[in-house]
Structure 1
Amino acid sequence: MKALHPSFRIDPFVPTTIAVHLPRTLLGCAVALAVFGPSCAAAAEESAWFEDLPTVLTVSRLEQPINEAPGAVTVIDGDYIRATGYRDLSRVFRLVPGMQVGQERGSTSWVTYHGLSNNFPSEMQVLIDGRSVYSPSAFGGVDWAALPLSIDEIERIEVVRGTNSVTYGANAFLGVINIITKHSAQEPVNRVTANAGNSDIADVRATGDGHIGATSLRANVSYLSDSGFEDINDSRRVALLSVRADTRLSRSDELMLRVGGSRAKEGLGYPDSLLDSNKERTSSTYEYVVHAKWVHAPSTGNEWSVNYYHNQERVTDEWMSLALPPLVPRASYVPLNRNRRATRDHLEVQNRFEPRSSMQLVWGAEARRDRVNADFLYASGDPEPSDLLRAFGSLEWHFARHWRTNVGAAWERYSSEPTHFAPRAFVNWDVADRQTVRAGYARAWQQRPTFEKQGDVVAIDPQTGTLLVHPYLPNRDLRQPRVDSYELGYVGHYRTWQSSLDVRIFDERIKGFLIRVPVFAQPWPVLEPYIGSAQYVNYGADVHLRGIEYQFRARPWRGADWSFTHTLIDRNSGDPNIDDRTAPYSASLSWRQDWGRGWSTTLTGLRMGPLAGGDGFVPIYPYVAPAYTTYDARIAWSGRMRGRKVEVSLNAINLGPRHQEIADRSQQAADARLGDTGPANTVSPMVYLGLVLEL
């Protein structure tokens, strides 16, 4: 594949490269269906054609068949996730069109939609059963390794590909990931899962079910351990426990309660970072959650819900740096840390009802408070609590036999920001049986992490009181970025091969995008020539992303499940350093095959274009990780031994040449000063055996 060149465009919408390749791709799919479909389909099961289309909840908070939703959405069911054999949930999103995922090290994942983000992606809302797990702590983002969630709990994941702040607030700036867990009474089973392999992989997971009167319970406990990739300090030890309880209070009332906690120890840093500013060390993360949801459904088509959750995150990440002459007059040990603690309390009330047979409506309101404590990261004092008040509503109206419209809006106000109004309007047209075209527009305003506005980091020589560095300066004049998104989409399901095609053509214009720029700190730090000062500012021009993404899935013969995704993005901001934060192309191909007699395989290939992946800590340094191709594979056998269901598997990820996915720009800068232009970090293959035993 070739990266898109900014000069090759057609107005007003998509790049010429996209316009050339899309017809060829779609034509190829159509020819394959026409020529090979009849013979292969005869061997395939056609019952899926007559089944109802998947129902999604995340796009508008309304229950809708996937072709009626006001936006593009990808559904990944729990069985498919477990069939990949992945130990890390974040890796699954590589199979979603438009998603750009990478690892700077084995213990951390960078998950974005259409790239653009900084070191801790915050342009996507990430939910578990509607509860936001986006961290309000210093840097924002999601710590995928420390989530108090086991893969065994997941029923399905709905990924909304496109702006959706109307439904889930300002962090849904470019998209939403909603992880939906199983009801505790669903598929009762007691199971133990274990993995062991190279890189000191040693995992164990267990799930158990039970009842106490009218209450069903499900508990999950897991421990994940490995030494990470080669030649980098990225070992991890993650332990978690989660319990979900569901109680039927009456014929119309149900209460869900979920509590969970995790503890993660992760290797960070490099042995030769500049002035030990990112020294090798081990960080500790503790996360806790209490989530309660009451649902009252007095009649068909009418449902009330009250949703409350409390999240807490505590991170200990500290080390001692060493500044030596001639940079400073005498050797100085300087304590540094990124210690932080954050809590979030959220209350939401929602009502869904049907005002008439052709309409369904949802409306609601929510209030949230975030608190952050991080003495070192906020030298001028911890920020005040951040409050959110928000009201939202969405209406679906089938105004004609083959036409429907979805309109929605949200009003929201943050404690220190102006009040914003975010609208959305879509029209869906059923052009044929199980084939729908949609078109729409949405606007969103983004709440940035507290640190980007108020972060104030200084390092002082404890012996003399001398200001050594001031790498982060606050900027209280930051404005919330805004995106205006236009979309044209197509969803088609076909009898031949039980196949489907999902296409999204998009035009996203972002105003006020945040970037880090060098500034002159006053007073002047001693080490300013080596570790400069910077702050976040609003970029003066629009950041414009436009392109196409699509996914083709098919079952051309019995037991086969093929999925191909492809994304092309034209980036145009006027600044190549911003453009480089989005890969111009990506593609994935996955083949899952049930061979019979208990044997199955899963093969996946991923191609990712060049990607900068964040902005680095210190200093500011432009760097782009080159394009790469990587492969994952799994072979498994399942059956029964002594009456118990058992599965044995061999799993491998990152097959093929070692490559760099996301760079630590600060380390790249340090290496460059020494004349080393190679990648500072690379991923390496990991191979492990898996065992699943039902008790």
Structure 2
Amino acid sequence: MPGALAADAFFDDIPIVLTASRMAQSPVDAPVAVTIIDREMINASGFTEIHDLMRLVPGFLVADWAEGSPTVANHGLGDAYDRRIKVMIDGRTVNSPLWGNTNWQDLPLRVDDLERVEVVRGPNGAAYGVNAFQAVINLITRSPSTESGARVISRLGKDGFYDHGFRANGSAESPIDWRLSGSHRRADNFRNYLDDGGDVNPRETIARSVLNFSATAQLSTRDELGLMLGLSDGTSDRGIPGDLEEPLREDDARSNFLHLSWRRSFAVDSELTVQYYHQDERMRASWLNTRYPPLVIPLDMNSDVRRDDLEVQYSATLSPAWRFMVGAGVRREAARAQSMFNTRGTLSGTSSQLFGSVVWSPVERLKLDLGGTLENHHYSGSLFSPRFALNYALTPESALRLSGGVSYRTPSLVESYAEQVVRIGSQIKQLFLRAGDDVQPERVKHIEIGYAAIFREIGVGLDVRAFHKRYTDYIDDQRCFYPRQPWERPLPSGERLCPPAPSGYAPFEYDLRERRGPRSFLIQNAGSFTMTGGEFSVDWHRSGWGRVVLSQAVIDIDAGRDILDPDFETSAPTSITSLLLVKELPDRWRASLGYYRHAVMNWLNDGDRVPEQDRFDLKLARSFGAPGSGSEVAIVAQSLGGRYVDFHEGRYRHEPRLFASLNLSW
């Protein structure tokens, strides 16, 4: 999905989305529910981190935690690794091959690089194959052809927070449109928190440098070449002061990507695109556990992962009644993480897919959309994700939608092959996460009915939907125990017995003295459940007054008897609300208020209960310079209520933030 095409579609008079079916279309005609976070909303929110923008999307939850990347969930099911949401930059997947999650703080671009964000608020395997399971997020960057000049951005706030950046663009006369942007930032996300038991919990301070380059060359009236390069490098200070098991440490993270594209236009609605994408990530995180002297236990979370992806897509309009898209792709993923896989080697796999869709209008008001992706996955084999959608236009800019389909999520490399060990010499002293035998892909059958409309005369956009989803073969980890001695039987309490340990397993003496003995966490298919709910969003805009964007979601999870996690049904709060209020004031001032609320809920696995929560953000800004230049000064206060519970009620309190910003362009 070339950046220039994205920008051209965005600036049309009629709103256009590109992510729903891989073809440009109005949100009213899309076969699935789509939310657009445009540039005005991005600026008004005051958010400096990309993952925070998801708070503006109906049904989405955002959490940070002091021991890893922030996490995003849609309709619950969230834990430390948001591997059920596909995240893309200009149409290319950026989820990490290791866990399947998105390392949000390490993305090689910043909020200031985004033109808009398109979010498909439900499964979309028919368009993007496996892992487009709960939602699809497409981060669409600013096209170099739409900008000129230079810009500096500086944010400076309390507790050592800063975020400084620049953006420079080529001249309009240049045969190549290009943009170079960079930034460096530091933030204290968590300070050490003393819980009710007097225990100190982890902190987190991040520092990141990001560099991003984008260029497009119009070779002819038909052909366009695109290039994007990105790099993120930095550290995270984590750990607990004075703690022997989780001492203070500095984790190093680096990620980069290369995106090449060629687009040939044959007609107004007919084009061929060829894209190659490469990403790699490196994490260096290791420390010594000295809790059990005289033992010194080395812990190693170092990893190197990469993905290479080649894709070809062709779309065309055959007649006013027929439109189609077809494509193919091949993807190779690889990871090396010695302690996670109990090997010094590299694990890798190659997957391929065929995808396509056809839209037919048998009568003027009716559109039928049939789509699907057939994928041969390196671990799970052949999988087919179909979709059927029917849109009936009530007016030229309002329609009813009925859609349904099947989507899959294949196990990540960790879920497929994990054998996480702690070694001392040649002996395996501890076994943590282990992959079970023959883990099957998760599957969801989904159906929804919706209504989308744009009322231009009153400046209102409306999106309403109800959905029902049936999930099977949900993947989770469950605790299991090893006998304390080889001749002992497992305890009669119903605890699960672990599979046989690998050769060289010699547990620590203190583990053998524990009442229940050494333990592991076994990854396996853990059951089925249903999810039912509804959402609405209203976007009202009036020139000279401002804008109001309100969304609400209600969700209910009904877990089957085979789901053993007691917190599973409450992983989705019963209600989620977001409100962005933007008010134009005299003399080029503007105030914006963000309100984000969710009912009591539980983050799963590494997370825990989070009480009912209300968060208020405020931004006061004044623009200056030439109209439309984007120059402004502002004050932003995030979480006006102070520190708040994030991810785990007993462990983490996220820090509020107060900063001033200057955005200067020329």
Q: Offset at 1:425? A: 0.3
- Tell me, yes or no, if the aligned pair for 2:315 and 2:324 is still in contact at 8 Å: yes
The answer to whether structure 1 residue 78 and structure 2 residue 39 are counterparts is yes
SS at match of 1:553: strand
Report the Cα distance in structure 2 between the residues aligned to 1:602 and 1:531, rounded to whole angstroms: 53
One-letter identity of the residue aligned with 1:586? I
Q: What residue in structure 2 maps to residue 651 of structure 1?
A: 636
Report the Cα distance in structure 1 between the residues aligned to 2:241 and 2:451, rounded to whole angstroms: 50
One-letter identity of the residue aligned with 2:300? N
The answer to whether structure 1 residue 546 and structure 2 residue 532 are counterparts is yes
CA offsets, 1:542-581, max 9 Å, x none?
A: 2211100111122367322011111110111134322232
Report the Cα distance in structure 2 between the residues aligned to 1:323 and 1:404, rounded to whole angstroms: 65
**Residues 646/306 of structure 1: CA separation in 2 closer, same or farther (3 Å cut):** closer
SS at match of 1:81: helix
Report the Cα distance in structure 1 between the residues aligned to 2:156 and 2:68, rounded to whole angstroms: 17
Report the Cα distance in structure 2 between the residues aligned to 1:373 and 1:491, rounded to whole angstroms: 46
CA offsets, 1:136-173, max 9 Å, x none?
A: 12x23111111111222211111011111111121211
Report the Cα distance in structure 2 between the residues aligned to 1:305 and 1:251, rounded to whole angstroms: 15
What is the correspondence of 1:490-569 to structure 2 with a 5 Å cutoff? 490-495=451-456, 497-521=458-482, 522=501, 523=505, 525-526=507-508, 527-528=510-511, 529=514, 532-540=519-527, 542-555=528-541, 558-569=544-555
Range with bigger deviation, 205-214 or 588-597: 205-214
Q: What residue in structure 1 maps to residue 382 of structure 2?
A: 419
The answer to whether structure 1 residue 679 and structure 2 residue 650 are counterparts is yes
Report the Cα distance in structure 1 between the residues aligned to 2:308 and 2:275, rounded to whole angstroms: 11
SS at match of 2:624: strand
- The percentage of aligned residue pairs carrying the same residue is 27
One-letter identity of the residue aligned with 1:197? G
CA offsets, 1:432-475, max 9 Å, x none?
A: 3522110010111112221112111121344xx65432111222
- Tell me, yes or no, if the aligned pair for 1:457 and 1:472 is still in contact at 8 Å: yes
**Residues 644/368 of structure 1: CA separation in 2 closer, same or farther (3 Å cut):** closer
TM-score (norm 2): 0.88
**Residues 253/336 of structure 1: CA separation in 2 closer, same or farther (3 Å cut):** same
Range with bigger deviation, 448-457 or 373-382: 373-382
What is the correspondence of 1:264-343 to structure 2 with a 5 Å cutoff? 264-271=234-241, 276=245, 278-324=246-292, 330-343=293-306
Range with bigger deviation, 571-580 or 371-380: 571-580
Q: What residue in structure 2 maps to residue 161 of structure 1?
A: 121
Report the Cα distance in structure 1 between the residues aligned to 2:130 and 2:331, rounded to whole angstroms: 13
**Residues 657/429 of structure 1: CA separation in 2 closer, same or farther (3 Å cut):** same
One-letter identity of the residue aligned with 1:660? V
What is the correspondence of 1:48-67 to structure 2 with a 5 Å cutoff? 52-67=13-28
Report the Cα distance in structure 2 between the residues aligned to 1:556 and 1:357, rounded to whole angstroms: 34
Report the Cα distance in structure 2 between the residues aligned to 1:128 and 1:645, rounded to whole angstroms: 23
Q: What residue in structure 1 maps to residue 357 of structure 2?
A: 394
- Tell me, yes or no, if the aligned pair for 2:272 and 2:314 is still in contact at 8 Å: yes
Q: What residue in structure 2 maps to residue 444 of structure 1?
A: 407
Report the Cα distance in structure 1 between the residues aligned to 2:238 and 2:481, rounded to whole angstroms: 29
CA RMSD of aligned residues (A): 2.1
- Tell me, yes or no, if the aligned pair for 1:108 and 1:144 is still in contact at 8 Å: yes
- Tell me, yes or no, if the aligned pair for 1:58 and 1:178 is still in contact at 8 Å: yes
Q: What residue in structure 1 maps to residue 8 of structure 2?
A: none
**Residues 106/623 of structure 1: CA separation in 2 closer, same or farther (3 Å cut):** closer
CA offsets, 1:366-409, max 9 Å, x none?
A: 00000101111111454531111100001111211111111101
**Residues 176/627 of structure 1: CA separation in 2 closer, same or farther (3 Å cut):** same
Q: What residue in structure 1 maps to residue 223 of structure 2?
A: 253
**Residues 557/612 of structure 1: CA separation in 2 closer, same or farther (3 Å cut):** same
Match of 2:148 among 167, 184, 188: 188
SS at match of 2:361: strand
Q: Offset at 1:421? A: 1.0
Q: Offset at 1:271? A: 4.3
Q: Offset at 1:648? A: 0.9
Report the Cα distance in structure 2 between the residues aligned to 1:107 and 1:114, rounded to whole angstroms: 21
Q: What residue in structure 1 maps to residue 188 of structure 2?
A: 227
The answer to whether structure 1 residue 430 and structure 2 residue 393 are counterparts is yes
Match of 1:102 among 63, 70, 75: 63
**Residues 531/188 of structure 1: CA separation in 2 closer, same or farther (3 Å cut):** farther
SS at match of 2:144: coil
Q: What residue in structure 2 maps to residue 693 of structure 1?
A: 664
Match of 1:585 among 575, 579, 593: 575
One-letter identity of the residue aligned with 2:279? N
Q: Offset at 1:483? A: 0.6
Match of 1:176 among 119, 136, 145: 136
Q: Offset at 1:176? A: 0.5
CA offsets, 1:227-284, max 9 Å, x none?
A: 33333521111101111010011110000001111102112333477x71x4432211
SS at match of 1:332: coil
Report the Cα distance in structure 2 between the residues aligned to 1:537 and 1:524, rounded to whole angstroms: 24
**Residues 644/415 of structure 1: CA separation in 2 closer, same or farther (3 Å cut):** closer
The number of equivalent residue pairs is 614
One-letter identity of the residue aligned with 2:640? L
- Tell me, yes or no, if the aligned pair for 2:163 and 2:183 is still in contact at 8 Å: yes
Q: Offset at 1:301? A: 2.0
Report the Cα distance in structure 2 between the residues aligned to 1:354 and 1:371, rounded to whole angstroms: 38
- Tell me, yes or no, if the aligned pair for 1:53 and 1:66 is still in contact at 8 Å: no
Q: Offset at 1:584? A: 2.4
Report the Cα distance in structure 1 between the residues aligned to 2:518 and 2:76, rounded to whole angstroms: 27
Q: What residue in structure 1 maps to residue 198 of structure 2?
A: none
**Residues 484/599 of structure 1: CA separation in 2 closer, same or farther (3 Å cut):** same
Q: What residue in structure 2 maps to residue 674 of structure 1?
A: none
Report the Cα distance in structure 1 between the residues aligned to 2:108 and 2:414, rounded to whole angstroms: 24
Q: Offset at 1:52? A: 4.1
SS at match of 2:126: helix
Report the Cα distance in structure 1 between the residues aligned to 2:204 and 2:33, rounded to whole angstroms: 35
- Tell me, yes or no, if the aligned pair for 2:481 and 2:518 is still in contact at 8 Å: no
Report the Cα distance in structure 2 between the residues aligned to 1:646 and 1:472, rounded to whole angstroms: 50
Q: What residue in structure 2 maps to residue 40 of structure 1?
A: none
Match of 1:638 among 598, 623, 647: 623
CA offsets, 1:512-561, max 9 Å, x none?
A: 00111112343573354487311111013x22111001111223673220
The answer to whether structure 1 residue 624 and structure 2 residue 595 are counterparts is no
CA offsets, 1:51-83, max 9 Å, x none?
A: 943111111011111100000000111232122
Range with bigger deviation, 252-261 or 650-659: 650-659
TM-score (norm 1): 0.85
One-letter identity of the residue aligned with 2:30? A
- Tell me, yes or no, if the aligned pair for 1:199 and 1:229 is still in contact at 8 Å: no
One-letter identity of the residue aligned with 2:131? N
Report the Cα distance in structure 2 between the residues aligned to 1:125 and 1:197, rounded to whole angstroms: 33
